[in-house]
Structure 1
């Protein structure tokens, strides 16, 4: 087996996904495409059991289960579908790249925010909230002016 190079940005994941550990199924794609869509199985369903994926580090597996629980089935399989193109191999490549991107986004540690940046963000949020309230007051005043005056008889 060839040595897979490590990624500097993502030290926990090399980018290598063992295809033999994945469950890949093909089916007919939906949508337009003429008779070809009724005959050729181009849609790709790529799934793997997250808990038993020994090719991923335990931290990445845990984060995958937390952050992408809507994509994980009751049986614990992460499912990625692709039917972008009319070609089976291109859809398989797209699904693998999407899985690779998903894992890399989880594996890259979040950047530390400096106190100055945190303060800037806090001030920006406060200003946005103030402006939103001012706009609400102006809108409320405009609607009040449209009302007919109450006349008591």
Structure 2
């Protein structure tokens, strides 16, 4: 897959959660933004595929965004954000193989009927007879 990291823009913010003084004064959380429609690395078919598969992550302005605050440093969060956004874009470009309908074989049908017959016989033998 092509490296489109040059098209990414970054915003920083303060991370939430535990961490004490470091969390309260340092902007370590990184939000990565990428405009899918204005990308020069993908053709129109790929852009439409990305847009359709990642529509829940794309905002009204057409930006795919992701916020990462896993690490205590801004640089590590930035690298992780780049890695994650490239992974989800790569996953969205995978086209699943078309499934062809198949029928069960004669052996499979016979095996199913045999197991049904065995179960039926087992339950029939449980009945109380005089």
Q: TM-score, normalised by structure 2?
A: 0.71
The match for 1:28 among 14, 18, 22 is 14
Q: Does 1:54 align with 2:21?
A: no
Q: TM-score, normalised by structure 1?
A: 0.61
Quote the Cα distance in structure 2 between the aligned partners of 1:88 and 1:102.
Answer: 21
- Name the counterpart of 1:89: 75
Q: Does 1:17 align with 2:4?
A: yes
Bigger Rg over Cα: 2
- Other structure's SS at 1:98 match: helix
1:38 shift after superposition? 0.9
- Name whichever of 44-53 and 102-111 sits farther off: 102-111
Quote the Cα distance in structure 1 between the aligned partners of 2:72 and 2:42.
Answer: 31
Quote the Cα distance in structure 1 between the aligned partners of 2:38 and 2:85.
Answer: 16
Aligned length: 104
1:28 shift after superposition? 0.6
Q: Does 1:66 align with 2:45?
A: no
- Name the counterpart of 1:76: 62
CA displacement, residues 119-144 of structure 1 (integer Å, 9 cap, x when unaligned): 57xxxxxxxxxxxxxxxxxxxxxxxx
Unpaired stretches in structure 1, ≥5 consecutive residues = 1-12, 121-153
- Name the counterpart of 1:143: none
1:88 shift after superposition? 1.0
Quote the Cα distance in structure 2 between the aligned partners of 1:106 and 1:59.
Answer: 12
